[in-house]
Amino acid sequence: MSAAPNREVYIFPDSAAIARRASEIFVDAAKSAVAANGAFRVALSGGSTPKALNQLLAAEPLKSQLPWDNMHIFFGDERHAGPDDPDSNYRMTNETLFTRVPLQPAQIHRIMGEYPDTEKAAQEYEALLRKEFTLSAGQLPRFDLMFLGMGDEGHTLSLFPGTKALHDHGRLVMHNWVGKLYTERVTCTAPVANNSAQVVFMVGGAAKAPALKAVLEGPYEPEQLPSQLIKPTNGKLLWLLDAAAAKMLSQDLTQ
């Protein structure tokens, strides 16, 4: 566990162990939020470890422990792809979670990645967040839990190094041109993540070790390492890492 305020760092043997711990966090957060406020609002991400997490949540014993009727599921970002496209974060989540659990369509809030105009998709999702969280001007949504990943160059959500969405200008959701991938993305902005009650990074693989060390131990350079932007203002930040990703970290960071 790290000594940084509100930041905890944990190392696991492999990505399967990360997914198991993430599933426990999900269940605890869901139960606590429903008990306190009558609803649980969570933002999910794409990727292989989130896929494993979804599969755990959709199977027993966890499936019957979760308050599905009181959940609202959101996404932190989306590719410029339709809901049936193999690249779609929604498609992966639909196949591994939504089709296997008792959620109603009104409880699932996806980003319209299929729109030719990604700015329209961003504006619609921002309007949806304002409606679902009954926000006034200048307010931020507060997710009970947000899951994030990190790329091997330090990006998170679809906040890539050197891209315009690193500067939110008061927006909750932005479209973001990612030149290195020659594609558009739609992403929640850093202030949205930072207003969450709990943010959980899930990071695995040796390819991410240098960027992870830089994000957690290096100078604050968020233009290069956008994951450094994620610093919850009134919430917890958990880093769940596998041993390969964590191999370059200082020993005292996780003690």
The pLDDT confidence band at residue 254, using thresholds 50, 70 and 90, is low
pTM of the predicted protein model: 0.96
Q: Amino acid identity of 106?
A: A
> What confidence score (pLDDT) does residue 114 get?
98
pLDDT in tens, 41-99: 999 998 889 999 999 999 999 999 999 999 999 999 999 999 999 999 999 999 999 99
Report residue 132 as tokens.
């679902």
Give the residue-averaged pLDDT of 174-200.
98
More confident site: 254 or 58: 58
Q: How many CB atoms lie within 10 A of CB 253?
A: 18
Q: Indicate if the pLDDT at residue 169 is higher than 80.
A: yes
> What confidence score (pLDDT) does residue 3 get?
43
pLDDT in tens, 129-159: 999 999 999 999 999 999 999 999 999 999 9
The pLDDT confidence band at residue 251, using thresholds 50, 70 and 90, is confident
Q: What is the CA radius of gyration of the chain?
A: 17
Q: Indicate if the pLDDT at residue 1 is higher than 50.
A: no
Q: Amino acid identity of 7?
A: R
Provide the strand spans (E) within the chain: 7-12, 40-44, 71-75, 77-79, 145-148, 173-178, 183-188, 198-203, 236-242
> What confidence score (pLDDT) does residue 6 get?
80
Q: Indicate if the pLDDT at residue 255 is higher than 50.
A: no
Please return the burial class of 61, using the count of CB atoms within 10 Å of its CB with bins 0-12, 13-18 and 19+: exposed
> What confidence score (pLDDT) does residue 2 get?
41
- In this structure, are residues 235 and 197 in contact, taking their beta carbons and an 8 Å threshold? yes
What percentage of the chain exceeds 70 in pLDDT?
96
- Report the distance separating Cα 18 and Cα 52, nearest Å: 9
Q: What are phi and psi of 4, to 5 degrees?
A: -65, 145
Give the single-character DSSP code of 116: S
Would you kindly state where each structural domain of the chain is located, as residue ranges? 7-254
> What is the distance, to the nearest Å, from the Cα of residue 205 to the centroid of all Cα atoms in its chain?
18
Q: How many CA atoms does the CB half-sphere of 39 hold within 13 Å?
A: 9
Q: Among the CATH numbers 3.40.630.30, 3.40.50.10260, 3.30.465.10, 3.40.50.1360, which is that of 7-254?
A: 3.40.50.1360
> What confidence score (pLDDT) does residue 4 get?
58
Give the residue-averaged pLDDT of 182-195.
98
The helix/strand/coil state of 128 is: helix
- In this structure, are residues 172 and 189 in contact, taking their beta carbons and an 8 Å threshold? yes
